[in-house]
Amino acid sequence: MTRIQINCVTRLLAGLAFVVAAPLAKGDWRVVEHTNPLGPGKAVDVLQDGKALARLVHGDGQIKPFLHIFGSGGELVTNPGLDKEGKAAGLFPHHRGIFIGWNKISSELGNYDMWHKGGTGEGRYDIVKFENTTTKNSASIVAHIKWRATKKDATGSDVMLTERRTFKVSRPGGRQTQVDASFELKAVRDISLAGDLQHAGVHFRAHTEVATRKAETSYLWEPSNAVGKGRVIDDHHQWARLLFPIGKRWYTAQEMNAPANGVKELSWRDYGRFGYFLPKQLKKGEPFNLKFRFAIEEVDAPANAPKQSDAQAKASHQLCAKRYKAFLKSLKK
């Protein structure tokens, strides 16, 4: 074989190696805006190698912006609240995906429930622009939101709060979908963010299928010695984790709380909704910044279905503690 032939073969093999290796690369992160294919409103998808991992749903027909999470088989892990025709579906359809809200918001512009309601005639969330970004290992949905009342002040403004909401989506270790959620709120006027622990704060809601299988769900949280039926009161909340089924698959969803959030109470329900209660009184111009991390992962089926074995529960607790430690470390960067 001549030198020219050898060089040609070498280049051909290098090209074939690239073709084989290319699909293994996991750096193709994209953020795509489009109409919501599963109901009313609009959607913003986070894609990794063309596969949807998360979706922000917002706009006309939706009572609040919320983040969907997709499972390993492309199935929805979180609750859409509405069917494709825009009709309420399942138990408590106002709980949707990863979301924030308060059912008692009051200011000079009146009193509003921005947990159950929204849209024309109610207080509403108005996304005024996106600043979405991607990196080699993640993609971020960044939404600028105005929380609007139905009344206006003397200047003609109906804005109660402004917000910069960020959902940074990544896949550390290639197993869990990690969402770093940041809610940067600022009061446009003196305002009270209140309600009760079941209807205020930052929450996760599993798919409505889980509500029909609530006997199969279970929780872990830290501090683990804190107890309560649907309510856990403690000054040192770290994280909470839900185990739940979707079809034949099993998932865990962990919500991690930044110490600076000032959380006092955890709310949970066996139908798959849990989160942290965050009442706050704000003066005009005062910021209210919140940081949480969510980790959603497909896991092995419970050994003692529908409950995990002691060994499984211990391993899950250790993993959650490890992830929380990593979350705290990330907050110092």
Contact 45, 32 (CB under 8 A): yes
**CA distance readout (Å), 199 to 10, 212, 310:** 65, 21, 32
pLDDT for 173? 87
Confidence of residue 7 (pLDDT cuts 50, 70, 90): very low
Enter the DSSP assignment of 19.
H
Residue 230 is assigned to a structural domain of this protein: yes
Mean pLDDT of 253-264: 95
Q: Give the pair of three-digit tokens for residue 322.
A: 């490890």
| 188, 258 contact by CB (below 8 A) | no
Q: H/E element holding 256?
A: strand 249-257
pLDDT in tens, 123-149: 899 999 999 999 999 999 999 999 999
Mean pLDDT across the stretch 26-40?
90
Give the residues across from 274 on adjacent strands: 204, 268
State residue 119's pLDDT score: 59
pLDDT of residue 280: 96
Whether residue 32 lies inside any domain: the answer is no
pTM above 0.75, yes or no: yes
Residue 169 placed within a domain: yes
Q: What's the pLDDT at 271?
A: 95
Helix (H) or strand (E) holding 219: strand 218-222
Q: What's the rounded mean pLDDT across residues 46-63?
A: 95
Does 4 map to a domain? no
Query: What is the percent of the chain where pLDDT is above 90?
Result: 77
Residue whose C-alpha is closest to residue 125's, from 165, 65, 185, 35: 65
**For the segment 80-127, what is each residue's pLDDT rounded down to a tens digit?**
998 888 898 888 889 999 999 999 999 999 999 998 876 556 889 999
Residue 246 CB-density burial (10 A; 0-12 exposed, 13-18 middle, 19+ buried): buried
According to the model, what pLDDT value does residue 118 have? Answer: 66
Please choose, from the candidates 318, 250, 198, 293, the residue with its C-alpha nearest in 3D space to the C-alpha of residue 73.
250
Q: What tens digit of pLDDT does each residue of 266-304 get?
A: 999 999 999 999 999 999 999 999 999 999 999 999 999
How, if at all, do strands 51-58 and 42-48 pair?
A: antiparallel
Q: How many CB atoms lie within 10 A of CB 264?
A: 16
- Which three-class secondary structure state does DSSP give residue 305? coil
pLDDT at 225: 81
Return the pLDDT at 121. 63
pLDDT in tens, 181-225: 999 999 999 999 999 888 999 999 999 999 999 999 999 999 988
- What pLDDT is attached to residue 85? 87
pLDDT tens, 156-180?
Answer: 999 999 999 999 999 998 889 999 9
55 close to 44: Cβ distance less than 8 angstroms? yes
Instruction: Report the sign of the C-alpha dihedral through residues 269, 193, 69, 312, in that order.
Output: negative
Residue 253 has pLDDT above 90, yes or no: yes
Nearest alpha carbon to residue 287 among 153, 187, 201, 177: 187
In a domain, 243, yes or no: yes
Question: Rounded to 10 degrees, what is the CA torsion of 21, 26, 31, 36?
Answer: 90
Distance CA 181, CA 202 (A): 10
In a domain, 191, yes or no: yes
> So what's the pLDDT on residue 168?
98
**Which range marks the domain in which residue 138 is found?**
102-331
User: Quick check: is 57 in a domain?
Assistant: no
Question: What's the number of domains the chain is made of?
Answer: 1
- Residue 93 domain flag: no
**Average pLDDT of the chain to the nearest whole number:** 89
**Cross-strand pairs, 137:** none
Q: What is the mean pLDDT of residues 248-268?
A: 95
79 burial (CB, 10 Å; 0-12 / 13-18 / 19+) is buried
